[in-house]
Each structure stands twice: as structure tokens, then as C-alpha cells.
Amino acid sequence: MGPCLRLAAALLALPLLSAAPSCRAQGQDDQLKAAYILNIALFTTWPPAAAPAKALTVCASPQHSLWDSLRELDGRNVNGRTWATVDGGPGKACDIVVVAAARAPRSAPKEAGNALYVIDGTPSGTYAGAINLVEESQHIRFDVDTREATRAGIKFSSRLLRLARNVT
């Protein structure tokens, strides 16, 4: 099954993505990745003090291929919080930071706060974030770095960990 079919199945499986998407190769992968991030968010617990706001702020770069797909998810309810995609410039308070592997920092950001770093793509010696979305045999998989998550004060559900390709 290619990503396209998988996407269709995933979108149907997820009540969050009710609209039937058109089958466009890159766009579908992006939508699927955005849906993965949303699902990951559903199995993630932020420290209560760090999430006073109603909105679940998702920081990304408008240049990132996922930007549109993430934006499409705006307004979705994630465990009582509302998905909000914002342009993640410096100094922004983010709950999730989505970064393409090519633009990933060299090392873990110092002032990341409680942000969940999701690195899209295989990083080449750079920071891999707490979640690293990768493509493997045309499947989208993800690796989890629990130390990074712990450092950010974030907890993943064991159910999520069972689905991860690698857990470190």
C-alpha cells in the first residue's frame, strides 16, 4: 500500500479528517504527517502548568511543506484544547514545534520550554526532536526520544510508544 492509499485509510479512520482528500502524492504525505502529529498530540500530556492556554499552539514555518496541512487542522479539539498553527518565529511560546529535518537545529534548543519538537524527515547529525517522523518503505513511521520528552516535561502514552519505530 502506498502512502496515498494509506492516507485515505488513515483519514477515514480518523474522524478528525472527515473530508475526503484528493489523491496528490506530496500533498497526501503532508496531510498524513499532519494527521500523525495531531494523533501524537492526542497521546501526549503536557505539564498542567505549562498549558494554561486554551489553544494548542503548533509552531511551524510557512515555508515548510506541512504548513498547509497543519493549518487545515486549526480549530480541531485536542484533549480539550484547540489546535492553532502559528508561524513559529523566535520567542514564540509553542506547544508543538514542527521542523523539517533540513532546518533542524544542531542540538537541542536551550529555551524550548515545554514544546514538543517534531522533526520531519531523517536528520543528518542534527537534532532529532522528541518525535521524529520518517518514511520507511513508503510507510510513515516515527521515533520517540523519551529523554527529550522528559527534558521538555512531556509524557507520551504507552499506547503511542508501542507504535513507535524506535523508542530511545
Partner 1 sequence: MRLFRTRRGTASGRPGDRASISSAVGTGQIVAAVASLVIASVVLLAYQFVSLRNALTNEARVQAGIIADNITAPLMFHDREAAADMLRPLHFAANLVSATVYDSAGRRFVSYVPEAQAQGVLEPEGTVGMEAPVAYRGKVIGKVELIVNMTGLRVGLLRYVVFLGLTIAGALGIVMPILRRTRSRVARAERELDYLAYTDPVTALPNRHATYLRLEHELSLPDARLALLLLDLDNFKVVNDTLGHSAGDELLRKVAAAVRGAVGGAGIVGRIGGDEFAIILAPLAGREAALDVAKAVAASLCVPFPLEQGEVFASASIGMCVYPDDVASSAELLSSADTALYAAKNGGRNRVVDFRPEMTLATQRRARIERELRKALEAEALRVYYQPQFDCSGRHIVGVEALVRWPHPEHGFVTPAEFIPIAEETGMIVELGRWVLRRACHDVAGWLRAGVADLSLAVNVSARQMREPGFIGDVMRALADSALPPEHLELELTESLLMENVDTAIEFMRQIRAAGIRLSIDDFGTGYSSLSYLQSFPINQLKIDRSFVQLLPQRGETIARAIISLGRGFGLTVLAEGVEDHAQLEWLRAAGCDYVQGFLLGKPMPAEDLLARLAANPDRGRPGQDGAHPAPGYASTENLNRDSVA
Residues engaged in binding partner 1 (CB under 8 A) = 6, 9-10, 12-15, 36, 39, 42-43, 79, 157, 159-160, 162-163
CB 131 within 8 A of CB 118: yes
For residue 74, what is the DSSP state?
Answer: T
Q: Can you tell me the distance from the alpha carbon of 59 to that of 61, in angstroms, rounded to the nearest whole number?
A: 7
Closer CB to partner 1, residue 31 or residue 88?
31
129 DSSP assignment: B
What is the distance between the terminal CA atoms of the chain, rounded to a whole angstrom?
A: 28
Shortest Å distance, C-beta 12 to partner 1: 6
Shortest reach from residue 79's CB to partner 1, in Å: 6
- Rounded to a whole number of angstroms, the minimum distance from the CB of residue 154 to partner 1 is 17
When the beta carbons of 40 and 97 are compared against partner 1, the nearer one is 40
